[in-house]
A = this chain, B = another copy of it.
């Protein structure tokens, strides 16, 4: 069965990230500044280059890919929850290059912002704590 809770809508933050910054770091910092422990994130924009993860489901480890070219961010979808007692942003990203071809994966450090417009919604609810999940080897929510 799915594991989920009802949560309550809290606050909304909307803005843009810094040119030249690291996308995952900047998103994480914005969430931390507002003490968001549970949230959802959406964004669009462009990157100077990207680094994304693909989880090898057999080997149970992330493989990282560098996509070293400017691309549009056609979508970023993410959430905020707790890992090791601290808020953690988990986000996936879809990107398109100059020919319109799409790429993406798990957003990793090393993705450099050209421009990024984001919206974060925070929620009030029980703690969503990430911990080792036996089925996948991933840090998933113990809820």
Interface residues of A (CB under 8 A from B): 1-9, 11-21, 26, 29-30, 34, 38, 40, 42-44, 46, 48, 52-58, 63, 65, 67, 70, 72-79, 90-94, 96-106, 114-115, 117-119, 123, 125, 128, 133, 135-136, 138, 140-141, 143
Contacts and interface: CB of A to CB of B under 8 A. Distances in A.
Contacts of A123: 12, 14
B140 A16 contact: yes
A1 B16 contact: no
A27 to B, nearest CB: 8
Contacts of A75: 74-75, 77, 92, 94
25 contacts: A1-B29, A3-B15, A4-B15, A4-B16, A8-B12, A40-B42, A42-B77, A44-B77, A44-B90, A54-B98, A55-B72, A63-B98, A67-B100, A72-B104, A73-B92, A74-B75, A74-B104, A74-B105, A100-B103, A100-B105, A101-B101, A102-B102, A115-B138, A115-B140, A117-B140
